[in-house]
């Protein structure tokens, strides 16, 4: 089934997560994505295991990390350090709509494959460059990795217990968000090109994205001129909005307004809390969290988690369990929405997490599996007009795999 981006051709010259995440999303939306990889090394994440899909000793094992961000693509394994390899990429770029790349600033220029050079031949090309710090500025030359950017960009200062070490998030969230912003930029440029006939060079930096996604915490700092404190599993602006222990586990309360708090107070046997000026409004509760939160915690600790969740749901008080990932994938809502998918590659069944976008009720998740290294080389090169003998010659020379 064709998608909204059917007919769009993307060259994905990115590695690791932010760029490949954008490429996978574009593939899910119907674009043809050709992943350009080194013939020997391939994408770095191919080796980022365990765990491996086919086990530790499989001949062509694939890391779960690689499988999370490369669905729906073809792999063209080509050495861009060679003149023949550069010529192949230039030919592909001449007919492409989008280029994704995350080389260091100027890294592609030494191969003659930088966005400016490629757009001279194909002015309609939309080039999206993803770097740690952007195309200019005093840090532009530096490499950037998610963990480092979470630290430099302030996210770690906000994450963790108030008296503990600053913490990173459990997934590379800055990379993922950068991939989403890159995709938004590409889609906007594709829309604009319908009017102008020309492409764009999009500059997306992990540090920029990290700051842009600090949301309320960024404004908390800008409004007050003070650094926000870490609150662990609590919220700096809303109370009660945090994790609590029960007799047999943990749950999360996300009370978003005063009406919900009144219902919670009644459930916990303290309806007077909702009338107390110290707790009646959210602003008051934030100012008096040190008094209120221990009272809530004491009440919840007296009951079992699932019993509390049933009562909270019945009263329209937002709450939920703290699930492990295996529990998440077994959850009836997750199963109903079909978020755990499989794609097939021959006899292999490869697990995937579905794209969350639905169009007219249908998921846009690509059915094409993450490709093996060079799995699409012959098909892509044949479309460029190369004969079987030409491809064999390039393969013998180590230009392609």
Q: Which of 208, 40, 22, 25 is nearest to 127 (CA)?
A: 22
- Whether the CB-CB separation of 33 and 27 falls below 8 Å is answered with yes
Q: In whole angstroms, what is the distance from residue 20 CA to residue 239 CA?
A: 38
How far apart are the C-alpha atoms of 262 and 255, rounded to whole Å? 10
Whether the Cβ atoms of residue 34 and residue 380 lie closer than 8 Å to each other: yes
Nearest C-alpha neighbor of 251 from the set 168, 291, 307, 326: 307
Q: Where are the alpha helices (DSSP H) in 161-235?
A: 173-196, 206-212, 215-224
State both tokens at 122.
Answer: 């194909």
Measured CA to CA, the distance from residue 334 to residue 102 in angstroms comes to 33
Catalogue the active-site residues.
175
Question: How many C-beta neighbours within 10 Å does residue 87 have?
Answer: 15
């Amino acid at each position: 089934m064709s998608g909204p981006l059917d007919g769009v051709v993307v060259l994905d010259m990115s590695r690791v997560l932010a760029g490949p995440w954008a490429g996978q999303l574009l593939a899910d939306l119907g674009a043809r994505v050709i992943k350009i990889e080194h013939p020997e090394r391939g994408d770095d994440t191919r080796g980022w295991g365990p765990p491996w899909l086919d086990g530790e000793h499989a001949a062509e094992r694939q890391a779960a990390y690689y499988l999370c961000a490369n669905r729906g693509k073809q792999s063209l394994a080509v050495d861009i350090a060679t003149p023949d390899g550069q010529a192949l990429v230039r030919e592909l770029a001449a007919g492409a709509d989008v280029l994704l790349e995350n080389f260091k600033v100027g890294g592609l220029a030494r191969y003659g494959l930088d966005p400016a050079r490629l757009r001279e031949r194909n002015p309609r090309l939309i080039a999206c460059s993803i770097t740690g710090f952007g195309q200019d500025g005093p840090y532009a030359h530096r490499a950037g990795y998610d963990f480092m950017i979470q630290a430099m960009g302030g996210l770690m200062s906000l994450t963790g217990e108030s008296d503990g070490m600053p913490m990173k998030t459990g997934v590379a969230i800055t990379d993922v968000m950068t991939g989403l912003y890159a995709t938004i930029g590409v889609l906007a440029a594709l829309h604009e090109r319908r009017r102008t006939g020309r492409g764009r060079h999009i500059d997306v930096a992990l540090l920029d994205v990290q700051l842009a996604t600090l949301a309320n915490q960024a404004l908390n700092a800008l409004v007050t001129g003070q650094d926000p404190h870490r609150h662990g599993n609590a919220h700096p602006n809303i109370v009660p909005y945090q994790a609590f222990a029960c007799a047999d586990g943990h749950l999360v309360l996300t009370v978003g307004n005063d009406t919900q708090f009144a219902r919670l107070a009644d459930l916990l046997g303290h309806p007077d809390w909702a009338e107390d000026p110290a707790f009646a409004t959210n602003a008051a509760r934030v100012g008096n969290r040190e008094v209120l939160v221990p009272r809530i915690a004491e009440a919840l600790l007296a009951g079992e988690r699932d019993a509390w969740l049933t009562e909270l749901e019945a009263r329209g008080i937002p709450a939920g369990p703290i699930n492990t990932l295996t529990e998440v994938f077994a959850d009836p809502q997750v199963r109903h929405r079909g978020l755990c998918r499989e794609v097939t590659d021959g006899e292999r069944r490869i697990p995937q997490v579905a794209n969350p976008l639905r169009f007219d009720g249908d998921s846009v998740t690509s059915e094409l599996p993450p490709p093996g290294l060079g799995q699409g080389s012959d098909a892509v090169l044949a479309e460029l007009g190369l004969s079987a003998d030409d491809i064999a010659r390039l393969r013998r020379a180590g230009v392609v795999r």
